[in-house]
Chain A
Amino acid sequence: MIRLKTGNSPHVRTQDTVRAVMIDVLIALIPATIAATVFFGWYALFLIVLGAVAGELIEFLIMRVIRKKKDFVWDGSAAVTGVLLAMNVGLGTPWWVFLIGLFFALVVAKHAFGGLGQNIFNPALSGRVFLLISFPSYMTGKVFLLPDATTSATPLTMFGDSGHNIKAVWDSGITYWDLFIGHVGGTLGETSALALLIGFAYLVWRKRIKLMVPISYIITTFVFALIGWAINPRLGDPLFHILSGGLMLGALFMATDMVTSPMTPKGQFIFGLGAGALTYIIRLFGAYPEGVSFSILIMNALVPLIDKYTQPRIFGEVKE
């Protein structure tokens, strides 16, 4: 007698899993990892790998020891957080400071809210801001740039310190090409727009991205910078603003974090719009030279509200 199993429709599913999603994100971060190693040296690679390994380890301990989930198996999401946090710290960050940040990201920003899928704020960005406030001396300041080991402040720091005069940046010898390939000061993963775009293209190809978020984010920053530039050319042209600082990393990899971004294209558009506008405003008027992290975290907090007011119109619903 054959015993039949039962189950609910649909009886077939995609091969896709959460782990596969996270692995794709990690793959997409490989070009930026290479760029970080090329421009900042082996210690950058060490921090990034440490982020991945320690992230999974910390999550394992949280799940098994604190939350007592015996069936926990790794899904890669903590590795993504670790790598992204490494991309968001400067080369001067000691490994133990980095680990404190990672611990904060996973324990407070992620698991205190309920773990995977439940967190309101992007864990990596929460970790970064925590470090920025707790260890400001390590997080800002000058970095050594390979191959000639010159010291360099970040373009946005030069821009901010000069009272928002773009001339200070160009006078230091930085070119658009440097900004594009990433041969400037900055956090480990943010400098190379080229590497980030290659990784992003991979995510788009694998359909792993809420596409409207980066489009709306980058265009908004561009438009705001364009307006600022038209009013006063000293404020820098739009291209400078989208290529410098953490904008590319933020728009392509941080704001697009699935858990902390809106569910509909309309909501994603508003999310990107808010983040883009806040980024430019903080750069010009904020206490910090860069505003990407704060902008995204602020918009993270608004996601439930955005989702509530951008619900899709049900098929067959009459237009009002």
Chain B
Amino acid sequence: MKLLTFKGGVHPPEKKELAKDKQIQRLDLPDTVYVYMANHAGAPAKVVVEKEQEVKTGQVIGEPAGFISAYVHSPVTGKVVDIKKMLHPIIGKPVDTVIIQRTGDDEWELLEGHGSFEDKSPEELVDLVKKAGIVGMGGAMFPTHVKLSPPPGKKVDTLVINGAECEPYLTIDYRTMLERADELLLGIKILKKILGVQRVFVGVENNKMDAIKHLQKVFSGEPIEVVPLKTKYPQGSEKQLIYAITGRTVPRGGLPLDVGVVVQNVGTAVAIKEAVIDGKPLVERGLTVTGEAVKNPGNYIVRIGTPAKLVLDKAGLDESVDRVLFGGPMMGIAIRDINTPVMKGTSGITALLPEQTQIKMPKPCIRCAKCVDVCPMNLQPYLLYHLVLKKRYDEAVDIGLMDCIECGSCSFICPSKIEHVRQIKLGKTVYKALRGAKK
């Protein structure tokens, strides 16, 4: 069988075995949740509840504050005890956070108009997705309704469901494909109807052959093609995935829409099903808690806003933990505070021991060219690093600073332990700020 893939990439240790055979379980409802108004990329939502107000599970507590923004709902039934700014692990600054104390079991406030999807128009379906506050659950947290509303003139002909899960350690997409294939199928059907596409691919790395076989069985008779992909990081990166499956190249600075493709993560498709059919807004998500620093890795459905500590305690956190990551080791973010709440894009909580992270002092670049070889965007990480270090931002942009997808392959492979990605992220931030200042 010919395996689909992209150029470049690396093979970090997979470590999927830690959690891959653990069935998805529900974590007990947390007593207190901390819900960021920035639970999505774009403008943070506007708080629409007040202190002391009673809220039901699924009730809107934040409204979108712009086109690229999203609704935020209460993940539990309880009382708003505080609204204050809390440090956001991705943004790195404090953002508005609604703190809700749970008072009892769930009393749901379901979405209006949910039920079946066949009788609804694409516009009505997109509206439901928007009202449900659904964002890209692979980690980017880009508001899904925006992705599903291509501007006029852009013709979409292909839907790609991302089940690659190339990030080491994480297994939640794998478990979802095995345990929730029926819901995934419904989600795909809804997406098909919204986009009006005929071609649907589900891309899965071939280290998950049983998931591929299972999906092929469940999807038999449906016009959905489950395609095995070569196990290579970052196979699940949007542009690399589109190239591997369709052979199309998203232009520099462009979007998948430019080549007629929409990509949705497995978890997002399931969330769309839950919103449209069951009427549940996005108030919980599946995630993997894993890593060498937990005794019982597993896959859990966790309410948004649950402090990471609750999930880690359930899995038995080792005292000698070095870092706790939201996400996996390649692109995950190390949280400072163990009580940092779970977000809509938190696909995993990975706790690593010092043996895994092994901080070493960077050495000079020996020009081995490995970073150039592995870069899936065909950039020159060594040069970007150098230019940003020398504050030569315009030159860095010319050679692709903004094209970097921050996958970390370069820093992973570097024998000199150079922090390319850190420097590139910094360069992007500074460049954007400088450009903003010039205008």
Contact = CB atoms under 8 A, between A and B. Distances in A.
B219 interface: no
A118 interface: yes
A316 B363 contact: no
Interface string A1-45: 010111111111110111011000000000000000000000000
B408 A118 contact: no
Nearest to B399: A311
B338 A259 contact: no
B352 interface: yes
A6 B336 contact: yes
A261 B358 CA distance: 30
B252 A259 contact: no
Contacts of B359: 7
Interface residues of A, number: 39
Contact of A258 (B331, B366, B414, B417): B366
A171 interface: no
Contact of A11 (B317, B329, B425): B329
Question: Most chain-B Cβ atoms within 10 A of its Cβ — which of A8, A77, A318?
Answer: A8
Given A14-B412, A315-B239, A315-B377, A4 B336 contact: yes
B322 interface: yes
A263 B378 CA distance: 12
A68 interface: no
B368 interface: yes
A75 B368 CA distance: 15
Contact of B329 (A12, A77, A259): A12
Interface in B227-268: 239, 243, 249-254
B317 A18 contact: no
A2 B321 contact: yes
B416 interface: yes
Interface in A203-231: 210
A18 B415 contact: yes
A316 B168 contact: no
Nearest to B337: A4
Contacts of A311: 380, 399
Given A2-B338, A12-B12, A264-B372, A117 B408 contact: no
Contacts of B409: 10
Nearest to A114: B364
A317 interface: yes
Q: Is the interface of A mostly helix, strand, loop or mixed?
A: loop
B382 A263 contact: yes
Contacts, number: 160
Interface residues of B, number: 68
Contact of B352 (A11, A20, A264, A313): A11
Contacts of B335: 4, 6
B323 A9 contact: no
Contacts of B406: 9
A274 B335 CA distance: 51
A141 interface: no
Interface in B318-341: 319, 321-325, 329-338
Contact of B416 (A6, A11, A18, A317): A18
A115 B321 CA distance: 37
B403 interface: yes
B365 interface: yes
Contact of B330 (A10, A118, A317): A10
Question: Most chain-A Cβ atoms within 10 A of its Cβ — which of B329, B336, B367, B379?
Answer: B367
B378 A12 contact: no
A37 B325 CA distance: 54
A10 B331 contact: yes
A239 B243 CA distance: 44
A110 to B, nearest CB: 11
A11 B369 contact: no
Nearest to B368: A258
Interface string A160-187: 0000000000000000000000000000
Nearest to A312: B378
B164 interface: no
Nearest to B426: A8
Interface string B290-311: 0000000000000000000000
B348 to A, nearest CB: 12
A312 B249 CA distance: 16
B357 to A, nearest CB: 5
B322 A314 contact: no
A5 to B, nearest CB: 5
Nearest to A1: B338
A116 interface: yes
B330 A263 contact: no
Interface string B385-411: 000000000000001100100101101
B438 interface: no
A164 to B, nearest CB: 37
B334 A11 contact: yes
B363 A18 contact: yes
Given A11-B352, A11-B356, A314 B415 contact: no
A9 to B, nearest CB: 5
B357 A12 contact: yes
Interface in A250-264: 258-261, 263-264
A66 B209 CA distance: 59
B372 A312 contact: yes
A117 B366 contact: yes
Contacts of A317: 251-252
Interface string B200-223: 000000000000000000000000
7 contacts: A4-B323, A12-B13, A16-B413, A71-B361, A260-B367, A316-B250, A317-B251
Interface of B: 7, 12-13, 168, 239, 243, 249-254, 317, 319, 321-325, 329-338, 352, 356-361, 363-369, 372, 376-380, 382-383, 399-400, 403, 406, 408-409, 411-417, 419, 421-422, 425
Nearest 10 A/B pairs, CB to CB? A10-B408, A117-B364, A8-B422, A6-B334, A316-B252, A16-B415, A12-B329, A11-B329, A315-B377, A314-B400
